[in-house]
Amino acid sequence: MQGVTRYFLWSFIVTAVGLVLAAWLGFTMEGGTAGMLSFLLIGALLAVLEISLSFDNAIVNANTLKTMSEVWQRRFLTWGILIAVFGMRLVFPLLIVVLAAGVGPWEALRLAATEPAQYAQIIEGAHLSIVGFGGAFLMMVGLKFFIDAEKDVHWIGVVERPLARLGQYEGIPSAVTLIAILTVATILPGAAVATFLYAAVAGLVTYMAVHVLGSVLDNPAKLATGAAKAGLGAFLYLEVLDASFSFDGVIGAFALTQNLFLIGIGLGIGAMYVRSMTIMLVEKGTLTEFAYLEHGAFWSIVTLSIIMFAQTMVHVPEYVTGLLGAAFIGLALRSSLKARRTIGAHGRAPIKDVGLSRDEPI
């Protein structure tokens, strides 16, 4: 237990400081004990919301961090968390207002501080662009994991094996994502189509650009030594990935409060727990020990991308997204534990032979 607590020590400290700040903010802005308790409760709920929506993010982060040098691992876990907390949870909502309302950064900050209702309305008006961009980017992330000819470990084999075989053909993930984008565009009313298409294509192009840039930045080191690790390219990929994961959390936060500063505190607390989980997964080798945990995370990512596209037409409560993600990860953990027992009972059988088959229930 002490070993696990070590990883979450800073998260506990940030939680304590953050909740004190939330209580002080409520007392200052709302006045009295009632305002203090209200802000304290909302801050705690926002932290739980962020953790529930981002556990799969921690798993994917850990998987990518394994390929990075120790220097870039440390940079992501220090600079990266600052970008995640202050960039995505505070600056990003302000940037949306700047672009959507055509105002300056200081005016956007003034709106957040003095006119939170108008600020939240502007954020809501940018919802279509946000889910279009995030849905396309995350769909590419999920599909690239499953549509891979070199992938030989399968959790839900009846689905994952055929998908892996498709990896021998170039461009399948992009084609599937474009089909999904065009399908949504044909359903949306005419006035919304251009906005959605622009944002979704931008998400697709951003994914491709990050990967091209990553290969350019990291490739020289790999040519120098075959044992070299990824660096700046992987760092940029993780930052964009974190941004895409954060979209639903930031937008969902406005269902609980319109106060930007309280949102920053609550989601910042949650982001610290994601960081702690990432470090623990990397250092303890949990992804190696639990072979299908990563698969559950990527199924969760694909589901989140579909939900984001669905949100262009209907509202999907944030708790639905969180519960579905938790269900995939929980089932993948259960299958991983079962696989370990099977290997223990029958010797060193390949892990790919003890996953879910067509006839085996999850």
Q: Name the residue ranges covered by the structural domains of the chain.
A: 2-354
Which backbone phi and psi does 68 adopt, to 5 degrees? -100, 155
**Tokens at 110, concatenated:** 């003034």
Confidence band, pLDDT 50/70/90 cuts, at residue 85:
low
Task: Read off the pLDDT of residues 122-169 as tens digits, 9 standing for 90 and up.
Answer: 877 888 888 898 889 889 988 998 999 888 889 998 999 999 999 999
DSSP conformation class of 167: G
Task: Read off the pLDDT of residues 237-263 as tens digits, 9 standing for 90 and up.
Answer: 777 777 766 666 666 676 667 777 888
Residues 6 or more apart whose CB falls under 8 angstroms from that of 232 comprise: 72, 214, 217, 218
Report the phi/psi class of residue 68: left, alpha or beta, with left for phi > 0 and alpha for psi in -120 to 50. Answer: beta
Looking at residue 162, what is its pLDDT? Answer: 93
User: Among the listed ranges 40-54, 213-227, 314-328, 348-362, which one has the minimum average pLDDT value?
Assistant: 348-362
Report the pLDDT averaged over residues 192-198.
92
Q: What is the pTM of this model?
A: 0.75
